Every structure is written in C-alpha cells, then in structure tokens.
Amino acid sequence: MGFRTYFKPESNDLPSTGVGGLPENWLELVLENETVHAADFALKFHKELNEGVAAVAEQIHCYQKARKKFPTLHQNGWIYRKKAIEQSSGEATALFKSRLYDGEMAVDLTGGLGIDTLCFSKQFHETIHVEPDMVTQLIARKNHAFSKASGIKYTNYTAEDFVADWPETEKADLAYADPSRRDDTRRYFLLGDCVPDIHAIWQKLAIRARVSMLKLSPMYDITALRDELPDLTQIYVVSVKGEVKEILAVRDSNTKYSGCRITAVGLHTDGEKLFEISGSTVLGFGENKVPQSGLYEKNIVFIPDAAISKAGLSAELANINKLTSVHQSHGLLCLPANGNVNASELPGNCYRIHQILPWNTSKVKKALHRQKLTRVHVHRSGFPLDTSTIYTRLNIKMGEDAHLLFTTNTDQSLLCLICSRLS
C-alpha cells in the first residue's frame, strides 16, 4: 500500500512525557519491585525518582497484569500503558483469531499496544498497524522491534481517516477492528456508541478486504449484532477457562454457505481449541427443542461453558449428547441415568445432586446450617434472584464447602440443589 506514510518498527525516540519519563534504570526497578503494589512503590521512591516515579509505578502495575494476560508474548523490556493494556486482547484470544485466516496482507485498524498486530504478523506477509495516538503507536513499534517482529508497518491515523484514503484497488485479506465504548459506564451498548464508527466504514471495508472482523465485548447483545450487521457470515463467542472473553463478528466474502453461523469456542491459555460447537444464528436462539426432565437426588447435572450459553447453543449441545433440560432456558442440563455420557468430556461443569430443597429462604438457610455449609459456590439458571441476593438472603459466603444450584423445575417450582462438583 502506498497511500499512507509508514514507519519502520524500530524506534528509540519515545517522547519525554508519559511513559517517556522512565528513568534509565526503569526495568531494573520494575523487576526488583514486581510483587509490590504500584502505589506502595510510588510512596517509597517519590523523592528519589521525582517525576519518574509515576511512570515506573505504571510499568510495575502493567507488568503484573502482562505476565498473566500475555504469558509467552510478554518480554522484560516491553513498555505498556495502563488503559491500553486493559483494552488489549489477551494472548489466548489474540492467537486464536490470528489463526483463523492468513494471506498477503492484514490491516489492524485499532492497533493499540499491538498484541493483535503481532499475532497477525505471524500469519500474513504484511500487517499494518493503524493507531491515532502517537505515544501508544511508538510503544507498539518499540515492543515489536524488541520481539524481532517482521512485516509490520505503522501509520498514525484514525481508522475512519485510514479507510477514507484506502483505494479500492488496494485489497487486503483481512481488515480487523476492536471498537471501544465512548462511555465505559454503560453496560449495554451498540456499535454506534463505539469508536471507531463501524457503521461509517463497514461497507467500505467490504470492497477493500476479503474478510472483515470485529472484536466485541462479551456483554454485547448478539441478537442486536445480527440486526446491526445483517451481512455477517460468522460469529464466534470465545471463552478462556470458562469465561467469555470476546465476541468476533466476521464477514467473509468467500463463505460457502448462506446466512450466518455462530460458533462457541473454548480455548486453552495457549490459544488452542478445547472445544468448538456451531449452529445457525436462527436455530441457535431458541428454536431447537430439548426434551425436559425432572430432577432427582444422585442425578448428574451439567452447566454448559459460558461461551455455549452466550451463543445460544446449549440446545445443540444437549441434542448432540442426548441430554435433557430442566428449564426452557437450557442453562441446566441432565445427564442420562444409564451413564452413557462421560461427564469429563462435556464442555462445562458437571455436578452430582445430593439434596433437593424447595426454595424457601428460612428452610434452605436451616438446612445449610445443619450441614455446616457456610462457604459455597452459588450457580443459577432460570432463577429469579441474582447471585448476590442469594448470598445475602442465606447469609453465606463464597467457598468450597459445596455447590448450590438454584433453578426452576419442569413444574415451574423454584429449587435449591446441594451438589458436589465432578468436573
């Protein structure tokens, strides 16, 4: 691409403000104090380091997060910004999405610290890092050079400006964006509430990129997403260790099927798939029927992985494995009594029921007290009270004494199940 000014990865010219205020021995200080709370470090060294103490404290805070978030990508010597590291993809999901496609060129329209860019660069001959904030981009360049990354170019523009100047004749194999909310306090939001303005560039990307991919928050409403972008061909709901980390919305011009597929994926921390289950976005949202069954003591019940629940694919999973449903939401499933289903092979958690109690606050509280179950895990499916309310009403705390499952039975009665975890 020759329509923008690009920079080489190497850069030793970090500005004198922000992270550029780091003293020469900053890395030594960070590694020596990596287990120390950043605020405690700042109090201890504020006279010795003067203005540089805030910059070093920021790196201590970020290094503590980075070792968990980027366990193999992180290297001592990388520089971070607090807000940017919070917004960045984790290593597992960055590696997963980078392995979905390959080709000649990828464009990361929201480059940030460059974690996704770095992973894309391993699959594409050329990767372009687009980032409007010069300091953040300089940090990405420095970190990429430190990691000896190749094939990455950098341009200092907004996604909207970059796409506006992107000639239709210059084709990319992948255009990727991670839009962020303008207002972080709002729990529910749409693409129109985000930066960059995806609606302004979406159709332009269709002409310029074979695949367009968006990374979205785990809280994003998938039904609303299908309405906002009706030309999507694939939606991935991605979890790591049972927690949904991101939603990927994809439009692939080379797709070989009509409509949109939805796939729930569980990942190991190295980005390799633990499980994958797919369905259509129509059938995945409530049209698949699952036989219902009542609950009995010694039954084994199953709570699907969060990615499966978010994707609306619990019914598909139940029918594949011949499981029955306790409630129409399919959030709690029953294994057959004949033992033909191996609980350890199901993507989620299995529990054995030891006692079934009709929901009554005082009676359940007394039963737990008699059994000395004061520290428990609470799970709910199709139950009207939220988890925090249940803990408060029963005067219990989180712990390992037992697992309590709160649900609605097939006769619409509310139940508390005292269980132990199997997997």
pLDDT tens digits, one per residue of 294-303 = 788 888 999 9
Distance, first Cα to last Cα, the chain: 51
pLDDT band at 326 (very low <50, low <70, confident <90, very high): confident
Whether the pLDDT of residue 95 is over 80: the answer is: yes
Q: Domains for the chain: give ranges and CATH numbers.
A: 23-78 (no CATH), 90-281 (3.40.50.150), 300-421 (3.30.2130)
**Over residues 382-394, mean pLDDT:** 96
Taking a C-beta distance cutoff of 8 angstroms, is the pair 335, 301 a contact?
Answer: yes
Whether the pLDDT of residue 384 is over 60: the answer is: yes
Edge-to-edge strand list for the sheet holding 348-358 = 324-325, 333-334, 300-304, 348-358, 414-421, 397-408, 375-381
Q: Dig out the tokens for 166 from the structure.
A: 């992107």
- pLDDT in the model for residue 13: 55
Taking a C-beta distance cutoff of 8 angstroms, is the pair 116, 136 a contact?
Answer: no
- pLDDT in the model for residue 342: 86
What digits encode the pLDDT tens for the residues 302-314? Answer: 999 999 999 999 9
Whether the pLDDT of residue 190 is over 90: the answer is: no
CA dist 100 and 174 (Å) reads 10
- pLDDT in the model for residue 46: 79
pLDDT band at 134 (very low <50, low <70, confident <90, very high): very high
CA dist 185 and 124 (Å) reads 36
Angle in degrees, 0-180, between the axes of helices 52-69 and 38-49, rounded to the nearest 10: 150
What digits encode the pLDDT tens for the residues 10-57? Answer: 555 555 444 568 888 999 999 999 999 999 999 888 777 777 899 999
- pLDDT in the model for residue 288: 65
- pLDDT in the model for residue 3: 52
Taking a C-beta distance cutoff of 8 angstroms, is the pair 255, 234 a contact?
Answer: yes
